[in-house]
């Protein structure tokens, strides 16, 4: 993968963030998502690559754009796997809540796990705790290991967990250890990535969320030198049968970084839509808007935070996709 692609992918997540940010707090998560998808799709077409969506908006019959198997880019080499979530946290944008991002990961073809739309049990940490966590160990053992790697007490850890009934047990266990917990209503990609960014205030993300989101977070953690482990959690027979066909051996296989993102190069880009622990949200001004993006490449380990000012009048494409309902 050419390094020049890095900036191209920044443009893609910026466009999705700019388009969906217009919908913040307006109570319409479908419109917010639709705006992000259209914008992302439009900018992808301007990039020299032969991309195939492996994680996207759903199957061909469920999504008109960015569906699994859709080709993106102008068709020239390199051949790439593309994982996208144009709006990660639709409810967050609809309600103006914190932590919504536009996100993508692109890898050499054949590298990304084609995670189906089902749940995955996950644990994500930064480079300091790499090799020290185990999805099958107790919450207490994992928290102690992460605290030790950060040279701090478990009482000073911040654990992020989706606020769901299914997490009652792990929340109670984390509380029994005395860890600080941040319960979030949605959007577990951002805190999983934040766990590997020093100074973000997040030390570990754990719990059951989306499997596609797990692959996106794993791609970021690969760039950051962190670690994610996951395990698919099929909710019914159909999902179980679908996981059987994924070529991961057994459905309950412990998925490692290599299973999730492979061993080739990966580029990850995420732009904040609403403010979060990782990224600032879109701020509109009189002539355009400012965006905040994290972009990274696994091969070199370069981590960039890109603050951009967009002048809509000078960017016809952005202006076109950003008009929304005006």
Q: How far is CA 260 from the centre of its chain?
A: 13
**Percent of the chain that is helix, strand, coil (3-state, to 5):** 35, 25, 40
Q: Counting runs of H as helices and runs of E as strands, what totals does the chain give? A: 10, 13
From 10-18, 52-60, 186-194, 280-288, give the range in contact with ligand VTB by CB under 6 A.
Answer: 186-194
d(CA 19, CA 289): 11
In whole angstroms, the minimum distance from the beta carbon of 51 to ligand VTB comes to 22
In whole angstroms, the minimum distance from the beta carbon of 56 to ligand VTB comes to 13
Binding mask 37-76 for ligand VTB (x = CB under 6 A): ----------------------------------------
Nearer of residues 212 and 262 to ligand VTB, judged by Cβ:
212
Task: Could you list the beta-strand ranges (E) of 191-226.
Answer: 204-210
Residue 209 sits in the site that holds ligand VTB (CB under 6 A): yes
Residue 187 sits in the site that holds ligand VTB (CB under 6 A): yes
d(CA 311, CA 285): 9
Answer for which of 57, 188, 203, 265 binds ligand VTB (CB under 6 A) is: 188
Ranges within 156-185 binding ligand VTB (CB under 6 A): 164
Q: Is 283 helix (H, G, I), strand (E, B) or coil?
A: strand
d(CA 309, CA 320): 17
Residue 34 sits in the site that holds ligand VTB (CB under 6 A): no
In whole angstroms, the minimum distance from the beta carbon of 197 to ligand VTB comes to 17
Answer for which of 51, 56, 73, 89 binds ligand VTB (CB under 6 A) is: 89
Residue 213 sits in the site that holds ligand VTB (CB under 6 A): yes
Q: Is 241 helix (H, G, I), strand (E, B) or coil?
A: helix
Size of the site for ligand VTB (CB under 6 A): 10
CB-side neighbour CA atoms (13 Å) of 40? 34
In whole angstroms, the minimum distance from the beta carbon of 218 to ligand VTB comes to 12
Which residues partner with 119 through β-bridges?
A: 210, 233
Q: Is residue 296 packed enough to be buried (19+ CB in 10 Å), middle (13-18) or exposed (0-12)?
A: buried
Residue ranges binding ligand VTB (CB under 6 A): 88-89, 164, 186-189, 209-210, 213
């Amino acid at each position: 993968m050419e390094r020049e692609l890095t900036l191209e992918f920044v443009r893609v997540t910026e466009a999705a963030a700019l388009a969906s940010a217009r919908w913040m707090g307006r109570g319409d998560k479908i419109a917010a998502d639709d705006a992000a998808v259209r914008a992302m799709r439009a900018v992808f077409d301007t990039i020299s690559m032969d991309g195939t969506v492996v994680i996207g908006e759903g199957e061909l019959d469920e999504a008109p754009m960015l569906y699994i198997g859709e080709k993106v880019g102008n068709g020239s080499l390199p051949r790439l796997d593309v994982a996208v979530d144009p709006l990660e946290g639709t409810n967050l944008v609809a309600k103006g809540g914190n932590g919504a991002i536009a996100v993508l990961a692109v890898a050499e073809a054949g590298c990304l796990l084609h995670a189906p739309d089902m749940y995955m049990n996950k644990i994500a940490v930064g480079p300091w705790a790499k090799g020290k966590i185990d999805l099958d160990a107790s919450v207490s053992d994992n928290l102690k290991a992460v605290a030790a790697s950060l040279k701090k007490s478990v009482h000073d850890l911040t654990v992020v967990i989706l606020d769901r009934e299914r997490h009652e047990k792990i929340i109670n266990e984390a509380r029994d250890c005395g860890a600080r917990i941040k319960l979030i209503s949605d959007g577990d990609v951002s805190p999983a990535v934040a766990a590997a960014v020093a100074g973000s205030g997040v030390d570990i993300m754990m719990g059951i969320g989306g499997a596609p989101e797990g692959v996106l977070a794993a791609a970021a953690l690969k760039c950051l030198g962190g670690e994610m482990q996951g395990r698919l959690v099929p909710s019914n027979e159909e999902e179980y049968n679908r996981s059987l066909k994924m070529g991961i051996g057994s459905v309950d296989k412990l998925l490692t970084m290599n299973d999730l993102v492979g061993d080739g190069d990966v580029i990850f880009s995420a732009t904040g839509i609403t403010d979060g622990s990782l990224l600032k949200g879109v701020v509109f001004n009189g002539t355009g808007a400012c965006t905040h993006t994290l972009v990274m490449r696994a091969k070199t380990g370069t981590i960039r935070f890109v603050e951009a000012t967009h002048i809509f009048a000078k960017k016809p494409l952005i202006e076109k996709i950003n008009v929304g309902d005006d």
